[in-house]
Chains A and B, each alone.
Chain A
Amino acid sequence: MSLLTSLARAHASDQAVAQRLTTVRHLHVSSEPLVFVPLAMAGEAHAPLAVMIGTSPDTPELLTVAQPRNRDQQVAFAYELAKIFAAYITPRTNRRLPVRAGASGVQYRCADAPQVWVPNRAGVEFIRILGRSTRLRRSTGEWAVPRNIPVMGKWLTFLADRAEYAGSAMLVAATDALTLHWATGQSTEEDQHLPAVLGWIAPPPGMTGRDAARACENPLKVPPAGPATDPSFDNGILEPLLAAYHQAASPAASRIAEDKIRKELRKQLDGTWHRMWQAITLLRDPSLPAGAHVGVRWERDLDAFTQAADWIATSPGAQPKRDSAVYAARRLYWLERAQQQYDAERAFDDPMVMAEARMIGEAFVGTVIAAVPNRRVGRSLRPLITVSTTDAISLAAGESGLRRPELLDQKTTVVSVTRDGDTVMVELELREGMGSGREPRPGTVPAVGDSVCYSLFKDDYRRAPTLPRKEDTPWTHGGPPKPYLPTEQDAQEPWS
């Protein structure tokens, strides 16, 4: 949240229609996303009720469970769902392209990775829980389930885990993807409601965004985007139908009841399904070209996906229930790094994001008004430049964190800051990143008249910390963890 985005919200509210926040798109949008719209059974502990899923707007598949406490039905549902996931993921694990030939020879990386779209953050959580409830199952023994179910569980867990990384695009909540680029005239709390967000961004003709959003709040007209169902649907429609199904005296009667349930669930899901594709289409709009680092971040996703593919293919185990101390610490390092990269890259890619730093005085854009490119201090090249800016900078002499996005390995020190009315003159000493010649490499020292941007964003490569081996976990953190293997109880765990 910043003043810029807050102002955009105020404009959105004032004009009753959403306002753009960015000049570019900060999210990779796959050419073949898998849209996944789940509904959970009210009152049951995370039991799936229905899922609408598919890679094409015209051919969604609908899977339903009429009796969530019936283990066979849950297994059948998971089996069908796992087939769909496998059909989407497996080809992507197989197609690999060579990348960076290092000392270890050519490495191969998956050419594409899955991109799963859910309506909102609760949908991400649904995936996480569904992953948890399926990955620890066994395909042998008394409580055996088909083998593809635990495999799906591992993939869903991977996707949900990966979604914690800033800038990852393998599991996307549509609400977040939209509100990253548009400000609505409502609160962030209300922004988790996909139909309302779309109402603000793309109201039907003749309607304001606000009115469109408000109209979507009536669940009888627009069913919620899940996973929680509309209580009036539960009370008025689903509950009686489930009761009828339950009481069905013959297989034929139960099939009829089941068909009715499916029909009603389809009605609940259809609208969201189309909205999901509407969201994707909006983000693919040419007025929102991808930012320069979007591809770089997707490559990081490809790396993570490739590793996961190899691990899932070869390891019999599943992700444990909770992270070990050592893994958690390592993961935190990577999450923090991803966050820093994401913040910096977005600022580099998008002047609107950089403007947020300019607003708080930690970045500025200005014109070079003086330059001494060949200045030396002792034997070292230390060019001086003076930048004139009208940005309200809050940095003082001695600041050494400023960098130019184009030249991140060039370090600077602020020599002086002089103010003249609204104009500020910043004198900077430059070092490094100018080549090893007698004179700075062309283009490495800005010339008088150049427009430059300096900010505190950098890609600070901090070496990953050396952590103890898991078996050396110290007493302060509970000592060495017991190796985790799925137990009989995990295999047996009812589905709800």
Chain B
Amino acid sequence: MKELTARLDALRGDTEPQSLDARAISSIVGNPGCGRRNLLDAAGIDKDELARAIRHPMYAKPSRMVLARGAQFEAQVKASGGAQLLTLLREDIGLSIPEAEHEDLKTIGGNEGKLARYRNTVQRLTAVARSAQDGGTLFDHPYLKITVAGYDVFLEPDLVAVKSGGKFYIVEVKSFSVIDGQAPAAAVEGAELQAAVYVYALRELLRSHGFDEDLVADEAIFVCPQNFINKPFAARVNVRNQVAAVRRMLMRMHDLDTILSNLPAGLTFALRGPAGSRSAEELKAGLRLVPARYAPSCLDTCEMARFCRSEEQGSTAVLGRQVREELALDTIGEVVGLARGTRLPGPDQVEQAELLRRAQQYRDELLGSLM
């Protein structure tokens, strides 16, 4: 473990490690096969900075207006000791929560280190878990931990954990709005995956302290604005499938050791070396050594995407999963060559080559001069 940490530190250089937020975790889970990102994230490397340094920046920065609006909504819901939240949980969701209080686990730890904060969360939650009563406390910002590819990741989710009817529920305030009961599909998908990571993490926490995992409900609760107004609305969604998927994804992730063992000893992604800023070419050369798995969805989820896309230029991966599946070949050169008959198919390409030639023949015949 020490060795691993040292290696990861070396990869990063002497900047502070970036901690992963929930979005990052659900992105990892969204493409668990990518060693490049797993490694960069594990090392706490600022991928945004790195992408800039290699001149493939991602343009989408969070809009402050969006953040401000989200924060404002959350503050509104949690104001006066979570009064609005409590009403929603009691009335909309039907949880019975006795004389509740709001306890922000973020402020309790002060400026202490991660471990101390994690311990504090553990202490508070296990105390409630042990008790036969629900206690009624709304625990805001619990500090959680999961193991990703063999290293510990601390999570500081914007969520409330509350015990009701003998079970812990995870409650998240979201800023996407629900109109006539419908929320945008992509937002729901992301929110559920994140919630599943939290359910999983909370279960791990309780399990490792001798409690039954079932203490954490399969259902996550989302609080969102509804119908063009700021009046919050609460929905309960069963995320058991996502939890099962997250569990397996984490289980199947390749260990960093395997990735690291294939990399040269002195490799680093530090933006500055002894001789000042390192060149983009040097950094890129390092990145190329780490196997990646680009898919167009990376453009929405990973800061390295524009670099990875340009690296994959000649690969069918840039065309998207479905197209790649249809083409059934690695490179665009192969596809075009086989279709035109300018390249001989390998022994395992004969069937696909025939289909491609047929397709090309139709294109030539029917589009002819239009092509």
Residues in A lying within 8 Å of B, measured CB to CB: 1-11, 13-14, 19-20, 23, 41-47, 129, 132-133, 185-190, 217-220, 229-232, 234-235, 238-239, 287, 321-322, 351-352, 355, 358-359, 392, 493-496
**Nearest CB on A from B2, distance (A):** 40
Chain B residue at minimal CB-CB distance from A230: B59
Q: B177: CB under 8 A from chain A?
A: yes
Across the interface, do B362 and A355 meet the contact criterion of CB distance under 8 Å? yes
Residue-wise interface mask of B (351-363) relative to A, using a CB-CB cutoff of 8 A (1 in contact, 0 not): 0000110111011
6 nearest CB pairs, A to B: A43-B69, A187-B320, A187-B296, A231-B63, A45-B177, A43-B66
Across the interface, do A189 and B61 meet the contact criterion of CB distance under 8 Å? no
Q: Which residues of B lie under 8 Å from residue A11 when comparing CB positions?
A: 336, 339
Say which size band chain B's interface belongs to. 35 or more
Q: Which residues of A lie under 8 Å from residue B326 when comparing CB positions?
A: 1-3, 6
* Distance of A351 Cα from B296 Cα, bound (Å): 31
Q: Which residues of A lie under 8 Å from residue B62 when comparing CB positions?
A: 231
- Select one of A9, A132, A392 contacting B319, CB under 8 A: A9
**Nearest CB on A from B20, distance (A):** 21
Residue-wise interface mask of B (111-131) relative to A, using a CB-CB cutoff of 8 A (1 in contact, 0 not): 000000000000000000000
Across the interface, do A392 and B228 meet the contact criterion of CB distance under 8 Å? no
Across the interface, do B332 and A20 meet the contact criterion of CB distance under 8 Å? no
- Select one of B59, B65, B296 contacting A43, CB under 8 A: B65
- Select one of A6, A189, A239 contacting B299, CB under 8 A: A189
* Distance of A132 Cα from B297 Cα, bound (Å): 30
Chain B residue at minimal CB-CB distance from A353: B366
* Distance of A322 Cα from B68 Cα, bound (Å): 31
Residue-wise interface mask of B (310-336) relative to A, using a CB-CB cutoff of 8 A (1 in contact, 0 not): 000000101110110011000011011
* Distance of A424 Cα from B370 Cα, bound (Å): 30
**Nearest CB on A from B15, distance (A):** 24
Across the interface, do A41 and B65 meet the contact criterion of CB distance under 8 Å? yes
**Nearest CB on B from A256, distance (A):** 22
Across the interface, do A46 and B63 meet the contact criterion of CB distance under 8 Å? no
Across the interface, do B65 and A493 meet the contact criterion of CB distance under 8 Å? no
Across the interface, do B296 and A190 meet the contact criterion of CB distance under 8 Å? yes
The secondary structure that dominates the B interface is helix
Across the interface, do A185 and B68 meet the contact criterion of CB distance under 8 Å? no
Across the interface, do A493 and B359 meet the contact criterion of CB distance under 8 Å? no
Across the interface, do A6 and B65 meet the contact criterion of CB distance under 8 Å? no
* Distance of A235 Cα from B296 Cα, bound (Å): 27
Q: Which residues of A lie under 8 Å from residue B370 when comparing CB positions?
A: 20, 23, 287
Across the interface, do B320 and A321 meet the contact criterion of CB distance under 8 Å? no
**Nearest CB on A from B318, distance (A):** 7
Q: Which residues of B lie under 8 Å from residue A187 when comparing CB positions?
A: 296, 318-320, 323
Contacts A187-B296, A352-B362 given; indicate if A132 touches B64 (C-beta within 8 A): no
Residues in B lying within 8 Å of A, measured CB to CB: 59-70, 175, 177, 179-181, 225, 227-230, 296-297, 299-300, 306, 316, 318-320, 322-323, 326-327, 332-333, 335-336, 339, 355-356, 358-360, 362-363, 366-367, 370-371
**Nearest CB on A from B48, distance (A):** 13
Chain A residue at minimal CB-CB distance from B184: A125
Q: 12 extra interchain contacts, Cβ-Cβ under 8 A, other than A14-B333, A231-B64, A493-B228? A: A1-B322, A3-B327, A3-B355, A11-B339, A14-B332, A44-B69, A45-B230, A231-B62, A231-B66, A322-B180, A355-B359, A392-B358
* Distance of A203 Cα from B174 Cα, bound (Å): 41
* Distance of A133 Cα from B229 Cα, bound (Å): 11
**Nearest CB on B from A135, distance (A):** 12
Across the interface, do B366 and A7 meet the contact criterion of CB distance under 8 Å? no
List 6 A-B pairs, Cβ < 8 Å.
Answer: A1-B326, A3-B326, A3-B355, A45-B230, A46-B177, A352-B363
* Distance of A456 Cα from B371 Cα, bound (Å): 28
Q: Which residues of A lie under 8 Å from residue B175 when comparing CB positions?
A: 43
- Residue among B320, B360, B371 facing the most chain A CB atoms (10 A cut-off): B320
Across the interface, do A13 and B332 meet the contact criterion of CB distance under 8 Å? yes
Across the interface, do B227 and A219 meet the contact criterion of CB distance under 8 Å? no
* Distance of A41 Cα from B63 Cα, bound (Å): 11
Across the interface, do A4 and B63 meet the contact criterion of CB distance under 8 Å? no
Q: Which residues of B lie under 8 Å from residue A5 when comparing CB positions?
A: 323
* Distance of A238 Cα from B68 Cα, bound (Å): 14
* Distance of A44 Cα from B61 Cα, bound (Å): 17
Q: Which residues of A lie under 8 Å from residue B367 when comparing CB positions?
A: 20, 23, 352
Across the interface, do A238 and B65 meet the contact criterion of CB distance under 8 Å? yes
Chain A residue at minimal CB-CB distance from B58: A217
* Distance of A322 Cα from B225 Cα, bound (Å): 18
Q: Which residues of B lie under 8 Å from residue A493 when comparing CB positions?
A: 227-229
Chain B residue at minimal CB-CB distance from A7: B359
Chain A residue at minimal CB-CB distance from B340: A11
- Select one of A13, A46, A230, A322 contacting B181, CB under 8 A: A322
* Distance of A444 Cα from B79 Cα, bound (Å): 78
Q: Which residues of A lie under 8 Å from residue B322 when comparing CB positions?
A: 1, 188
Q: Which residues of B lie under 8 Å from residue A239 when comparing CB positions?
A: 64-65
- Residue among B60, B63, B355 facing the most chain A CB atoms (10 A cut-off): B63
Across the interface, do B228 and A7 meet the contact criterion of CB distance under 8 Å? no
**Nearest CB on A from B36, distance (A):** 19
* Distance of A234 Cα from B323 Cα, bound (Å): 35
Contacts A4-B362, A6-B326, A496-B228 given; indicate if A42 touches B180 (C-beta within 8 A): no
Q: Which residues of B lie under 8 Å from residue A10 when comparing CB positions?
A: 316, 319, 323, 327, 332, 335-336, 339
Q: Which residues of A lie under 8 Å from residue B323 when comparing CB positions?
A: 1, 5-6, 9-10, 187-188
Across the interface, do B363 and A7 meet the contact criterion of CB distance under 8 Å? yes
- Residue among B180, B327, B362 facing the most chain A CB atoms (10 A cut-off): B362
Across the interface, do B358 and A359 meet the contact criterion of CB distance under 8 Å? yes
- Select one of A46, A186, A358 contacting B362, CB under 8 A: A358
